Amino acid sequence: MQDPVVVEILSWFDMTHELVMTGFAAYWRLAWLPGPGSVGEQDAWLLDGLTAARAAHQAALLAEMHEQRGHQGLRSWRDRIQRERG
């Protein structure tokens, strides 16, 4: 059984982050705030959770990129990620 807080943070991650592709690099960025107002008006616990989720997603992304480094597979991987994320 998953922790409901983790499930909520991951749901917010999907709604607030986008994958940015630049040449042969990629990274996750916060594209939309989870609530109305400025960054200072957001729930601190949620932003902390999103920061942790972004770091975990980025680490997984970098690990996958390093596996493909130096291979034609990197271009295929990048193209697949772009198709999946729209």
- What confidence tens digit (pLDDT) does each residue in 34-62 have? 999 999 999 999 999 999 999 999 999 88
- Alpha-helical segments (H) within the chain: 4-16, 44-68, 73-85
**Residue 28: its pLDDT value, please?**
95
Tokens representing residue 24 in the block: 């042969």
- pTM for the predicted model, two decimal places: 0.76
The residue range of the domain holding 26 is 4-85
Number of domains in the chain: 1
Q: Which residue has the higher pLDDT, 76 or 48?
A: 48
**Residue 36: its pLDDT value, please?**
95
Q: Which residue has the higher pLDDT, 82 or 28?
A: 28
